[in-house]
Amino acid sequence: MFEELQNIIKYRFKNQSLLRQALTHSSHSIKIGENYERLEFLGDRVLGLSIAALLYRAFPKEPEGSLSPRFVGLVCRETVAAMAKNLHLDRYMIVGSEDIRENENVLCDVCEALIGAIFIDSDCETAVDFVNEHWKELIDKNVAPPKDAKTKLQEVSCSKNLGLPQYRIESREGSEHEPLFHVSAHLSNGLQTIGSGRSKKLAEQAAAAAMLGRIGHDG
């Protein structure tokens, strides 16, 4: 069933059930051990360790303050989700609803679960090699972290003597596996904006981006 995918990822599983588990979303099976959640937990840590080691070796003269933003850019949701698409994991995901295939959070989770599955199926060295194989080009391209709207808003609001932005969850809707948060951002001058996202953090970023646009600092 997954022959083509294993050719794409350049790894062949000894235990095919691990690969199936890594690709299975909780909307298809909520049973522990049948969906990717535990493997994603493991894979997230393996990815972080692998990228940290890669950067440590690739940039021997850089201080921690320079390595950290590189690390963030390489393990952030957007980068890992893009890697999942590049490996065509979205085509092979086992889901209860087809629209889940395009969900960036889910794509990120599946990619991390795949790394965790490789770790369990083989060993740490093989999992690290997998990350090296697929992330090396990004490191060579000197990937920088995406702009953080919350950080930028904090800088702008402080420069205008408006204090630190405050965030508040206004509402939550949707199902358990596809929630939608609505969060408000507030400045001390009374300005308020609303942002929405599939997680609290994403909604806060959206609210911060809206506030930056409101006060004329969206560039």
Q: Give the 3-state secondary structure of residue 182.
A: strand
Q: Please tell me the predicted confidence (pLDDT) of residue 217.
A: 61
Pick from 140, 157, 179: which residue ends a domain? 140
Q: Which of 40, 90, 112, 121 is catalytic?
A: 112
Q: Please tell me the predicted confidence (pLDDT) of residue 219.
A: 47
Residue 178 bears catalytic tag: no
Q: What is the CATH classification number for the domain harbouring 83? A: 1.10.1520.10
Pick from 109, 140, 171: which residue ends a domain? 140
Q: Please tell me the predicted confidence (pLDDT) of residue 162.
A: 86
Strand order in the sheet with 179-186: 166-174, 179-186, 192-197
Q: What is the DSSP letter of 147?
A: P
Q: Which of 44, 90, 109, 121 is catalytic?
A: 44
Q: Please tell me the predicted confidence (pLDDT) of residue 145.
A: 54
Q: Please tell me the predicted confidence (pLDDT) of residue 150.
A: 87
Residue 109 bears catalytic tag: no
Pick from 91, 116, 140: which residue ends a domain? 140
Query: Residue 108: which domain range?
Result: 3-140
Q: What distance in Å separates the CA atoms of residue 106 and residue 85, rounded to the nearest whole number?
A: 11
Q: Please tell me the predicted confidence (pLDDT) of residue 143.
A: 58
DSSP string, 53-76: HHHHHH-TT--HHHHHHHHHHHHS
Q: Same structural domain for residues 133 and 40?
A: yes
* Domain count across the chain: 2
Q: Same structural domain for residues 193 and 168?
A: yes
pLDDT in single tens digits along all 219 residues of the chain: 789 999 999 999 999 999 999 999 987 767 777 799 999 999 999 999 999 999 999 989 888 877 887 887 889 888 999 999 999 999 999 988 888 888 888 999 999 999 999 999 999 999 999 999 999 988 887 655 555 788 889 888 888 888 899 999 999 998 877 889 999 999 999 999 999 988 898 899 889 989 988 887 654
